[in-house]
Amino acid sequence: MNKRFNALVQLLNEKLKLFLYISFGIFLFILFFQPFPLIRFDFNNRLIFVAGFGAITFLFMFIHGLSVSRINNPLVQNGDGHDLLIILSGFLLLSLSSVSFAFYLRYVGSVSITFHIMAKIIFICFVPPVLIQWYDSSSRIKHMVEALILEKKLIQNRIEKYEDDLLNQYIEFNSESNTEPFNLKVSEIAFVRSADNYVEIVYRENDGLKKRLIRNTLKNIELQLKVYSNFVRCHRICIVNMHLKGFVVICIGRNFCRTKP
């Protein structure tokens, strides 16, 4: 009982306005364009009679929406099954609405049902399934976009956390003689530059920059830094940190590589 009530409440929240808009639109269309001969009615009775078309449309759309929302078959969870369900439900709504319109015109409006009248009925009753299908497709696309945006945010958060963890790792720089070990955080390294038989490491300390010379080759240092994607060899004598916060590394030419706040 609770499931049925919850399904009814969900349907009212999601599609009540849509059903009312479609029903009111059909009411206005029949009232102003008068596709059916309603000469036997005066103005007030004509309004009431035409309102019946809107009521019939709303009733069948509501029943159709409630029936579709209660279907929970695993076979319709994939794309093909879902499309088949949409086609069958739309055809059922079109058929029931057309038959009801025809009976309503014949037995309440005393209108003779001809081929021309029936074609108009089918044309009018074709509108609700199309609009409902358009609304459902738009809703599904909207939910998919929202889910993708949420997934993107989660991935971005994971990437940021990974980058923060990566930038907080320490790298140990050694000279070729394995003396004078020198430890630096990845986030503190500004750039590394070749200086003859030495390598000059420029790093951030507090709010300033400092330099340190170690006896090594730039090729060996590059192998150490290769696992970190934020280091790029912009010149054959210089490797820079692209994610250095607070400074901009400028590397132009052979002997010009410096940092700028």
- What burial letters (b/e) apply to 143-175, b meaning 16+ CB within 10 Å? eeeeeeeeeeeeeeeeeeeebeeebeeebebee
What is the residue-averaged pLDDT of the chain?
Answer: 81
- The answer to whether residues 154 and 175 belong to one domain is no
Average the pLDDT over 65-84 and give the result: 58
- The answer to whether residues 152 and 209 belong to one domain is no
- The answer to whether residues 118 and 32 belong to one domain is yes
Range of the domain at 111: 2-159
- The answer to whether residues 132 and 196 belong to one domain is no
Is the residue at 97 inside a domain?
A: yes
Give the span between the Cα atoms of 89 and 83, in whole angstroms: 10
Give φ, ψ of 112 to 5 degrees. -70, 130
Domain count, the chain: 2
Domain final position from 91, 125, 159: 159
Per DSSP, 169 falls in state -
- Is the pLDDT higher at 81 or at 154? 154
Given a cut of 50, whether residue 74 has pLDDT beyond it is: no
- The answer to whether residues 29 and 152 belong to one domain is yes
- The answer to whether residues 183 and 206 belong to one domain is yes
DSSP per residue, 7-25: HHHHHHHHHHHHHHHHHHH
Q: Quick one: CA dihedral 222, 228, 229, 234, positive or negative? A: negative
For residue range 177-204, what is the model confidence (pLDDT) as tens digits? 666 677 888 888 888 888 878 888 888 8
Give φ, ψ of 175 to 5 degrees. -80, 170
Confidence band for 126, pLDDT divided at 50, 70 and 90: very high
What is the model's pTM?
0.62
- The answer to whether residues 118 and 13 belong to one domain is yes
Give the span between the Cα atoms of 142 and 138, in whole angstroms: 6
- The answer to whether residues 184 and 211 belong to one domain is yes
Given a cut of 50, whether residue 160 has pLDDT beyond it is: yes
Is the residue at 165 inside a domain?
A: no
Dump strand ranges (E) for the chain: 170-173, 182-185, 189-195, 198-205, 208-214, 231-235, 238-241, 248-252, 256-260
Domain final position from 100, 134, 159: 159
Given a cut of 60, whether residue 152 has pLDDT beyond it is: yes
pLDDT at position 72: 46
